[in-house]
């Protein structure tokens, strides 16, 4: 997780109250990027989450020196995580 840029002091915040789950080694880099981009979501007019800001993804990957080939692989994984997260983030909890 150190490679993600998340300080150790903040890591506990991410993991503290979350249920534990297994991440396959080949998916760790995508998970780290998902955490890096956690506050880069675009919010729609109704207050719902729409997607992670594409410009923020590009800027962060460029600043951190990710090659274009690796960006494509990471984006594929991020889009899968984004779709799954949107279902949870926008779930109607008023029922």
How confident is the model over 17-75, as pLDDT tens digits? Answer: 666 678 899 999 999 999 999 999 999 999 999 999 999 999 999 999 999 999 999 99
Asked if residue 49 is part of any domain, the answer here is yes
Asked if residue 17 is part of any domain, the answer here is yes
* pLDDT of the residue at 9: 66
Asked if residue 8 is part of any domain, the answer here is yes
Taking residue 92's Cβ as centre, other Cβ atoms within 10 Å add up to 5
pTM over cut 0.75: no
Asked if residue 94 is part of any domain, the answer here is no
Domain encompassing residue 62 = 2-89
Say how many domains are in the chain.
1
78 Cβ contact list (under 8 Å, min separation 6): 30, 33, 34, 37, 52, 57
Asked if residue 7 is part of any domain, the answer here is yes
CB of 77 within 8 A of CB of 27?
A: yes
Closest CA to 75 of 50, 4, 67: 67
Asked if residue 95 is part of any domain, the answer here is no
Three-class secondary structure of residue 7 per DSSP: coil
């Amino acid at each position: 997780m150190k490679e993600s840029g998340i300080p150790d002091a903040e890591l506990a915040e991410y993991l503290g109250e979350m249920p534990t789950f297994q991440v396959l080694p080949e998916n760790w880099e995508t998970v780290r990027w998902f955490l890096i981009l956690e506050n880069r979501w675009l919010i729609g007019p109704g207050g719902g989450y729409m997607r992670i800001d594409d410009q923020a993804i590009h800027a962060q990957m460029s600043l951190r020196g990710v090659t274009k080939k690796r960006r494509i692989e990471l984006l594929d994984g991020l889009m899968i995580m984004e779709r799954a997260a949107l279902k949870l983030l926008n779930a109607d909890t008023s029922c």
